[in-house]
Amino acid sequence: MDYRSQLMASVTDARYRQKDTSDQNFDYMFKLLIIGNSSVGKTSFLFRYADDTFTPAFVSTDTAGQERYRTITTAYYRGAMGFVLMYDITSEDSFNAVQDWATQIKTYSWDNAQVILVGNKCDMEDERIVPVEKGKSLADQLGFDYFEASAKENINVRQVFERLVDIICEKMSESIDSDPSRGTSGRSMRLTDNPPPSQQNCSC
Ligand code: GTP
Ligand code: MG
């Protein structure tokens, strides 16, 4: 059976949190975060995935880049097993910030957290600033998977989450293979079995 059909992913961006705890029919629950500069489309991406809707004007929900929210932010990273690191293909600044976001992930999250780099707004080809090749090569350099996507046109949204879940599950299997005491099948392994260690440099 496809484990994805049994999976309830808890997908979170800066403030929005969706967790359908009324549906207990799942084997694993993963905390995933969508991060990236303001306006890259994180909320839109999440709404497209969760509700299959798109609203042209969202109120900014981005707190993560602001210094006064740093304590919340570091706490937020804790326990995340996967990240969608997003930039906007029409914004060079958002692309230039990817490296910093990747450093944040490395600093504050679990070592085995999986990351997918997403160049959003690929429907805006006429305003493209970041070539596909540049996105790909940065992803290669950082060791991340890479997609271009559009929350607006519903391009690669589901695929990004499915790939993220796939690579998290691959990582879990590897960890069971290297330490069989954790269980003979992935089904016996739960998120609570392998919590990320608390960070020594976490300010909260
Ligand atoms: P913060 O909450 O400020 O961090 O922004 P965000 O990353 O959540 O971005 P948001 O989803 O609010 O989108 C910002 C703007 O980009 C909105 O006007 C969206 O309608 C638009 N937008 C988001 N995704 C796409 C997309 O795939 N294509 C196009 N053309 N516009 C998009
Ligand atoms: Mg937002």
In angstroms, the CA 107 to CA 7 distance is: 28
What are the pLDDT digits (tens) for 155-183? 999 999 999 999 999 988 887 777 766 54
Band (21; pLDDT cuts 50, 70, 90): low
* Model pLDDT, residue 67: 64
State the Cα–Cα distance between residues 62 and 73, nearest whole angstrom: 11
CA distance 133 to 35: 21
Selection from 132, 134, 74, 147 nearest residue 99 by Cα: 134
Whether the predicted pLDDT of 134 surpasses 90? yes
More confident residue, 77 or 124: 124
Ligand 1 center–CA 162 separation, angstroms: 21
Average pLDDT, the chain: 80
Atom 23 of ligand 1, residue of closest alpha carbon: 41
Higher pLDDT, 74 or 2: 74
What digits encode the pLDDT tens for the residues 98-123?
999 999 999 999 889 999 999 999 99
Q: What is the pTM of this model?
A: 0.81
Q: Is the CB of 148 under 6 A from ligand 1?
A: no
pLDDT digits (tens, 9 = 90+) for 33-67: 999 999 999 999 999 999 999 988 777 777 666 66
Does the C-beta of 151 come closer than 6 Å to ligand 1?
A: yes
Q: Write down the pLDDT at residue 203.
A: 38
- Report whether 120 contacts 149 (CB < 8 A): yes
Q: Is the CB of 69 under 6 A from ligand 1?
A: no
Q: Give the pLDDT confidence score for residue 103 in this predicted structure.
A: 94
